[in-house]
């Protein structure tokens, strides 16, 4: 049985904040269930890893909880959050600009290797 979950945010766009709660909620739940959870933010979702971006977004405009709160909840449960190194250059982001919850950078080769591992399950958003 797999004990690792890889969540890839590649099609989720911060301009559509209502899409951003579910992946981090799933990450928090899986981590609370003692699964090893990695969340990779790439493409447009890569902007979420930049300090201040997710803190300005709300899944529900009437809820005070920000997308950053969702991300911190997943992190607090044990999920590791990863930035895509290709996105840093595209968005003019440096490693110093990343949120403190970011575990570092996960490039395409590492992500593909994990996806191809028989012991990993993958969710994409």
Flag whether pLDDT at 27 surpasses 90: yes
Flag whether pLDDT at 75 surpasses 80: yes
Q: How confident is the model at residue 100 (pLDDT cuts 50, 70, 90)?
A: very high
pLDDT single digits (tens) 59-70:
999 999 999 999
45 and 12 in contact (C-beta within 8 Å)? yes
What percent of the chain shows pLDDT beyond 70?
100
Q: Where are the domains of the chain?
A: 4-124
**Where are any strands of DSSP class E within the chain?**
4-9, 36-41, 80-83, 102-105, 120-124
Q: How confident is the model at residue 47 (pLDDT cuts 50, 70, 90)?
A: very high
Flag whether pLDDT at 6 surpasses 90: yes
Which architecture characterizes domain 4-124 according to CATH? 3-Layer(aba) Sandwich (3.40)
52 and 100 in contact (C-beta within 8 Å)? no
> What pLDDT score does 90 carry?
83
Span 55-80, average pLDDT: 97
Question: What are the residues whose beta carbons fall under 8 Å from the beta carbon of 36, sequence distance 6 or more?
Answer: 3, 4, 5
What percent of the chain shows pLDDT beyond 90?
93
The CA–CA distances, whole Å, from 8 to 37, 63, 81, 123 equal: 11, 25, 10, 6
Flag whether pLDDT at 89 surpasses 90: no
């Amino acid at each position: 049985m797999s004990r690792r979950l890889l969540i890839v945010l590649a099609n989720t766009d911060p301009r559509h904040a209502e899409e951003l709660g579910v992946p981090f909620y799933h990450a928090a739940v899986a981590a609370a269930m003692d699964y090893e959870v990695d969340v990779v933010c790439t493409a447009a979702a890569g902007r979420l890893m930049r300090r201040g971006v997710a803190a300005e977004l709300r899944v529900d405009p009437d809820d005070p909880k920000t997308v950053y709160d969702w991300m911190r909840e997943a992190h607090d449960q044990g999920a590791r959050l990863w930035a895509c190194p290709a996105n840093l250059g595209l968005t003019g982001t440096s490693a110093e600009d990343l949120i403190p919850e970011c575990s570092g950078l996960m490039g395409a080769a590492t992500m593909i290797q994990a996806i191809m591992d028989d012991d990993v399950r993958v969710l994409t958003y």
